[in-house]
Amino acid sequence: MLERRLAVPGGPAGNPGRGLRAPALWVWKNLLSPWYNAVLTAVALAVLGAVVPRVWRWAVDAEWSVIPANLTLLLAGTYPREEIWRLWAAVASLAGLAGLSGGTYRGSARKWMTAAFLCAAAAALVPAAAPSRMWLLTLGGLLAGGFSLGRRVAAAFGPAWRRILGAMWMASAAWVYVLLHGIAGSAVFPPVPTSSWGGLTMTLVLTAVGIIASFPLGVLLALGRRSALPAIRWACTAYIETVRGVPLISILFMAQVLLPIFLPDYRLEHVVRAMIGITLFSAAYMAENVRGGLQGVPKGQVEAAQALGLSNARILWLIVLPQALRAVLPSVVGQFISLLKDTSLVAIVGLLELLGIARSILANPAWLGLQAEVYLFVALIYFIFSFSMSSASRRLERALGLGER
């Protein structure tokens, strides 16, 4: 079989592929040979021929006007319309930082400039209001500017700059929080209660908080489960197994319903309860992922470190964790992606994240019955974010040389 395939270009006389030109050869090799592939191709074409025209006809007739009319709602929920610039400013800050990091870590210039160009193109083409166009243009500028600045600064300062960049990322979390939530009594950033957050903004905030909080917690739990102290080991194991034994939705319900009963004097925001639930749930799975990596680190590594006289903490920090986390990076990112999608479950406990907003739009008498259009758009947004996360992780894997050693 393999020999025949290899033999096709200029193969022996009597080979049916002989004398075909490149595209035809490709079709022959991939679609028509051997005979059962030809049958499969015919069946696939028939199915496509039956389905595609119908989908196309539906897509043309569908009432897509529901999307532009509710775009702000889907992206920002009930965030006060006069404060929306703060959401843009948060995105812009992160875009600038991302550009800087791209430049510092020698990303491909072509890709970053393409991203910047796409933002500018969107600014020109998207039928949005003037401020949105200006912001999109700013985003493009920040991506491109950050990239070239990052390149130059990295070349000039080296490792010290990378540490500064890391600190800037950490500071950005606080900065984004101030932008989104505001400061009591401030004129520039009047407080916006979390009950006004919604749509994609809330989805992303829940995801970001879930990732940032569950990662360290998961690492601690994984270490605890491998601890030599029985009490810690049992507690961590019990926690992990309990949480993994219940579905996320029941944890979310418990967080929404039981927390206020346990803490009657202290009113926890709904969003915060959801954050707690998601973090606690995700941490248990994270712990098991990390534990897999910990087990994969050869014992000899630890023994060698001990022989060199390193303390236990330093062995963990310098020898074990870097290797363990590197090994489990793909599954950790996989879990982050499912975390992003799991946030849609908070719609069931009444929060207005992307899916909750979609439900609300469908209850508007003006847009009744447009489920397909609205849900397809929501699915597209989820896909864009999940896909960017997984492609970013693939690039990170390549950069770390995973799978090559």
Partner 1 sequence: MALMATQALAQARTLDTVLERGRLVCGVNNGLPGFGYLDSDGRWTGFDIDYCRALAAAVLGDPEAVEFVPLTAAERFIALQTGEIDVLIRNATWTLTRDTDLGLNFAPTTFFDGQGFMVRKDLGVVDIEDLAGASICVTSGTTTELNLADTMRARGLPFTPVVFEEIDTVYRAYEQGRCDAVTSDKSQLAGRRAVMADPDAHVILDATISKEPLGPVVRHGDDQWFDIVSWVVYATFFAEEKGITSANVESFETADPEIERFLGRTGGMGAMLGLTDDWAVKVIKAVGNYGEIFDRNLGPLGLPRGLNRQWTDGGLLYAMPFR
184 binds partner 1 (CB under 8 A): no
DSSP label at residue 347:
G
- Distance in Å, CB of 144 to partner 1, minimum: 32
DSSP structure string for 108-156: -HHHHHHHHHHHHHHHHHS---HHHHHHHHHHHHHHHHHHHHHHHHHHH
Q: 79 or 336: whose CB is closer to partner 1?
A: 79
Residues 47-86: x where in contact with partner 1 by CB under 8 A, - otherwise, as a string: ----------------------xx-xx--xxxx-x-----
Selected binder of partner 1 within 43, 246, 368, 384 (CB under 8 A): 368
Instruction: Specify the residue, 144 or 346, whose C-beta has the smaller distance to partner 1.
Output: 346
Is the CB of 296 or the CB of 350 nearer to partner 1?
Answer: 350
Residue 17 or 356 having the CB closest to partner 1: 356
Distance CA 39, CA 135 (A): 52
Residues 71 and 245: their CA atoms lie apart, in Å, by 38
Cα–Cα dist 331/38, whole Å: 38
Residue from 230, 245, 369, 403 binding partner 1 (CB under 8 A)? 369
Q: Which of 193, 216, 247, 296 binds partner 1 (CB under 8 A)?
A: 193
Per CB under 8 A, 151 contacts partner 1: no
**Residue 68 or 166: which CB sits closer to partner 1?**
68
**Is position 392 an interface residue for partner 1 (rule: CB under 8 A)?**
no
| DSSP-derived secondary structure for 17-53 | TTT--HHHHHHIIIIISSHHHHHHHHHHHHHHHHHHH
DSSP collapsed to 3 states, 203-267: HHHHHHHHHHHHHHHHHHHHHHHCCCCHHHHHHHHHHHHHHHCCCHHHHHHHHHHHHHHHCCCCC
Cβ–Cβ under 8 Å, residues 198 and 352: yes
Closest by alpha carbon to 354, among 329, 384, 320?
384
Show the binding pattern over residues 245-274: x = contacts partner 1 (CB under 8 A), - = does not.
--------x--xx--xxx-x--x--x----
Nearer to partner 1 among residue 311 and residue 364 (C-beta): 364
Nearest approach, Cβ of residue 196 and partner 1 (Å)? 8
Contact 211, 87 (CB under 8 A): no
Distance CA 8, CA 1 (A): 11
Query: Dihedral sign, CA of 157, 160, 161, 162?
Result: positive
The least distance separating partner 1 from the CB of residue 195, rounded to whole angstroms, comes to 6
**Interacting positions 347-366 with partner 1 (CB under 8 A):** 348-352, 356-357, 359-366
Give min distance, CB of 350 to partner 1, in A: 4
Determine the length of the chain: 405
Closer to partner 1 by Cβ: residue 65 or 108: 65
Task: Report the residue number, 73 or 290, with the smaller CB distance to partner 1.
Answer: 73
The answer to the question of residue 92 lying near partner 1 (CB under 8 A) is: no
What residues line the site for partner 1 (CB under 8 A)?
A: 69-70, 72-73, 76-79, 81, 193, 195, 198, 253, 256-257, 260-262, 264, 267, 270, 348-352, 356-357, 359-366, 368-369
